[in-house]
């Protein structure tokens, strides 16, 4: 059976997580939040107190991540860590350990395992370039750094998490730099990806564009 794959890559706070989740829901596809795997590894590293420079041990931890995804909830062992992995501290640590090639390798099988019928929407940084190069539709979502900082700021306030917009902006710039400049699987649009700038599009408009592009892809095949 043909399993359709849509990849949505892009920088931090470009809206790809929200868009990917809604597109998956609308199409009744599975959803992979690949960033959550790096965040879960980061949380495990911080909690275990292992040396953040011990790349071998971190990769070992990633290889044996006791994680579970249940609807909107993410578990590490028996603990619901859905909110705990969203903090900026975990995000920054995730971006550091994501630069370790052995960690990326360790998380590869876990990610490709999400490829199940009838289809998958996968969001991250290297979904279209490395993990699912065979994807039917590849989207690269961008937005200006100011817009992304503002969106992240609002998101955190809505969750009751205090935030400073200037610090957020600086963190975003630093994280983008680390993600785009790393040697292994850097953040880059796949040559066959379609770039959507969401600076002037809201979530609903972006979702509609992605669904429309997917419908055209399917039509052009038949």
Closest CB to ligand C5P among residues 4, 39? 39
Closest CB to ligand C5P among residues 57, 87? 87
What's the min distance (Å) between Cβ of 173 and ligand C5P?
Answer: 12
What's the min distance (Å) between Cβ of 18 and ligand C5P?
Answer: 11
What's the min distance (Å) between Cβ of 106 and ligand C5P?
Answer: 13
- For 42, residues 6+ apart whose C-beta sits below 8 A from its C-beta are 85, 90, 91, 93, 94, 96, 97
What's the min distance (Å) between Cβ of 45 and ligand C5P?
Answer: 13
Closest CB to ligand C5P among residues 175, 207? 175
Closest CB to ligand C5P among residues 4, 41? 41
Closest CB to ligand C5P among residues 104, 119? 104
What is the spatial distance between Cα 16 and Cα 123, in angstroms, rounded to a whole number?
6
Cis preceding-peptide flag for 152 (omega within 30 of 0):
no
What's the min distance (Å) between Cβ of 69 and ligand C5P?
Answer: 14
Q: What does the binding site for ligand C5P look like in residue numbers (CB under 6 A)?
A: 12, 34-35, 38-39, 91, 94-95, 98, 124-126, 175, 179
């Amino acid at each position: 059976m043909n399993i359709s794959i849509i990849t949505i890559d892009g920088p931090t706070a470009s809206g790809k997580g929200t868009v990917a989740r809604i597109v998956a829901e609308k199409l009744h596809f599975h959803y992979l939040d690949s960033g959550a795997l790096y965040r879960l590894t980061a949380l495990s590293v911080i909690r275990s107190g292992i040396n953040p420079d011990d790349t071998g041990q971190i990769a070992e931890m990633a290889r044996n991540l006791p994680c579970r995804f249940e609807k909107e909830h993410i578990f590490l062992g028996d603990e619901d860590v859905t909110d705990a992995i969203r903090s900026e501290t975990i995000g920054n640590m995730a971006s550091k350990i994501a630069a370790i090639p052995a960690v990326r390798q360790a998380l590869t099988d876990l990610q490709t395992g999400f490829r199940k019928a009838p289809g998958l929407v996968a969001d991250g940084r290297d979904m279209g370039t490395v993990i699912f190069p065979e994807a039917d539709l590849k989207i690269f979502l961008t937005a200006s750094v100011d817009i992304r900082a503002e969106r992240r700021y609002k998101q955190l306030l809505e969750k009751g998490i205090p935030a400073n917009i200037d610090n957020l902006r600086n963190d975003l710039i630093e994280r983008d730099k680390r993600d785009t400049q790393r040697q292994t699987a850097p953040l880059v649009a796949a040559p066959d990806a379609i770039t959507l700038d969401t600076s002037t599009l809201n979530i609903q408009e972006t979702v509609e564009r992605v669904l429309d592009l997917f419908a055209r892809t399917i039509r052009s095949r038949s």
